[in-house]
Amino acid sequence: MSDFGILAFGAYVPVTRLQRSAIHATNKWFAKGLGGLAKGEKAIANWDEDSVTMALEAARDALDNIDRARVERVVMASTTLPFADRQNAGIVKEALNLPDGVGAMDVTGSQRAATSALLGALEGRATTLVCAAEVTTPKPASEREMAAGDAAAALLVGAGAPIATLIASHSVTVDFVDHFREAGAAHDYDWEARWVRDEGFARIMTPAIAALLDKGGVNGDAVDQFIVPVAVKGVPEMLAKKAGISDAAVADPLTAALGHAGAAHALVMLSAALEVAKPGARILLASFGQGCDLMLFEVTDAIGSVKPRLGLSGWLARRSESANYAKYLSHRGLLQLDRGMRAEHDSKTALTALWRNRRAVLGLVGGRCIKTGTVQFPKSEVSVHANDHAIGTQEDYPLAEMPAKVMTWTADALTYSPDPPSYYGNIDFVGGGRMMAEFTDFPDSALQVGADLRMMFRIKAFDENRGFRRYFWKAAPAF
């Protein structure tokens, strides 16, 4: 048994669940035929979330009980990366407060970006954190809008005591264009579903799966979980039948409770499979996109030794139901509202200041006085201790994983916010340290003094004039 493989796994799902019936209720005057898809709900990111913030949360979920010093490389996979020319994986690295000696890489351009990133990590020897996330913007009243959902996943790959090892892999690369989106475009263009199913999934993936099973030296009936992250109904069952895999092994595509999370969906489903996997189980992961990536894993006896903080099941249970389709459209930039004069301000970020303060801003690293033990944010040369303003005694003190409580809070309906009112206030970290923070993901009227908090990495503001988004940490309900 190899000592190199998957060491840990995690996932992230935004708290809001938009009801598909609400989407159809608005659009049925135009697209009545979508009524058959108007069942269940889809996870949607908040206005202050993107693929970077979601990947970071999935990484935190995976690394909950892992020494982060083990991470040698961070890989970020997505087709909805917020930056085309700024390393998105580097932002994740900074937010995790990893050393500067850690490598980083973005992988994009295909629905199999995440599996290609995972395969590359498994074929290397570095301890690699593979993150995948997707926040899509489908056209309103489209099948893609009904099917899509936002989610993220993360896997730590390296040497040690893996929970799953790679038995065999097989990849096929062909320029089969089932859908596409040009650089800079907002929406995907989809081709006819039946042609994609018959000419793409059936003819490309069927022989590839057979080749993988042959490499692995197993028959289809030896597969315990068959993961096919596609949004077309019936495709996983069709492929399973052709490969001799039992229907019982076909994994839940998570359509009803989450939606299809694009390139990230393969790792989201793999994370779900690892949550319930037993030692000795064989998992076949088959992703599609200009060909396919196939991986056959065997679960080890170490599977019970590593658990994510919440895992996919925990994030799915943390939900807030919404029927506000107009709000979703506004947050996706598909409905232009009159934001008022208070939104007319320049949000330019001083990149020099961001560089100097990157550990505080992106990593939420404060200071602790080694003389008095006083914790403060931000870190400064002079201690804030009431009776001893010691100079030069501050050591780094990360606060991102520290629980906190609400000390004060304000609901501000006058200042501009994409999701009014704007909630902010003073928070108190367990173990010391206070700061003013914005609150996020709180249901209406749920904020109260003394409420338990968890810090979450979010978008603070957009500089629309220059196309730059500024990140910082916000306080969310503890879980």
Domain final position from 293, 315, 331: 331
User: What pLDDT is stored for residue 379 in this prediction?
Assistant: 93
Asked if the structure places residue 354 within a domain, the reply is no
- pLDDT of residue 321 exceeding 90, the answer is yes
> Is the model's pLDDT at 372 over the cut of 90?
yes
How many structural domains is the chain composed of? 2
Residue 469's domain is classified under what CATH number?
Answer: 2.40.50
- Cα torsion angle, 447, 449, 453, 458, sign: positive
If asked whether residues 324 and 408 sit together in one domain, one would say no
Tell me if 380 is assigned to some domain. no
Say which residues have a Cβ less than 8 Å from residue 307's Cβ, sequence separation at least 6: 64, 65
Query: pLDDT per residue over 210-254, tens digit each?
Result: 999 999 999 999 999 999 999 888 999 999 999 999 999 999 999
Exposed e or buried b for every residue in 389-417, given b needs 16+ CB within 10 A? ebeebbeebebbebebebeebeeeeeeeb
pLDDT at residue number 446: 81
pLDDT band at 104 (very low <50, low <70, confident <90, very high): very high
**For residues 281 and 297, what is the distance between their CA atoms, to the nearest angstrom?**
8
- Mark whether 146 and 264 lie in a shared domain: yes
Whether 62 is in a domain gets the answer: yes
Pairing of strands 225-227, 282-288: parallel
Q: What is the DSSP string of 104-168?
A: EEEE-SSTTHHHHHHHHHHHSSS-EEEEEEE---PPTTSHHHHHB--EEEEEEEEESS-SEEEEE
Output the CA angle 237-242-245, nearest 5 degrees. Answer: 65
Q: Does residue 277 lie in a domain region?
A: yes
- Which of 331, 351, 385 is the last residue before a domain boundary? 331
pTM of the shown model: 0.95
- Same domain? 323 vs 446: no
Whether 376 is covered by a domain: the verdict is no
Domain match, 219 and 320 both: yes
- Containing structural domain, residue 467: 402-479
Three-state DSSP state, 98: coil
- 1 pLDDT above the threshold of 60: no
Please report the pLDDT score of residue 224 as a whole number: 97
pLDDT digits (tens, 9 = 90+) for 392-439: 999 999 999 999 999 999 999 998 999 999 999 999 999 999 999 999
Give the per-residue pLDDT at 83.
96
309 plus 409 within the same structural domain: no
Average pLDDT rounded to a whole number, residues 129-150: 96
Claim to verify: residue 431 and residue 304 sit in the same structural domain: no
CATH number at residue 243: 3.40.47.10
Same domain, 44 and 144: yes
Q: Tokens standing for 376?
A: 């403060």
| Residue 194, pLDDT score | 87
Confidence (pLDDT) at 192: 86
Tell me the backbone φ, ψ of residue 21, rounded to 5 degrees: -65, -30
Is there a single domain that holds both residue 291 and residue 425?
no
In a domain, 232, yes or no: yes
Q: Please check whether residue 147 lies inside any domain of the structure.
A: yes
**Residue 443 pLDDT:** 84
Show which of 331, 362, 394 is a domain's final residue: 331
Please give the pLDDT value at position 132. 98
Instruction: Say yes or no: 319 and 425 in one domain.
Output: no
Q: Are residues 322 and 411 in the same domain?
A: no
How far apart are the C-alpha atoms of 106 and 120, rounded to whole Å? 12
Q: Amino acid letter at 2?
A: S
| Residue/partner pairs of 46-49 with CB below 8 Å, 24 or more apart | 46/14, 46/15, 46/16, 46/331, 46/419, 46/440, 46/441, 46/458, 47/331, 47/418, 47/419, 47/459, 48/418, 48/440, 48/458, 48/459, 48/460, 48/474, 49/14, 49/135, 49/150, 49/458, 49/459
- Tell me if 340 is assigned to some domain: no
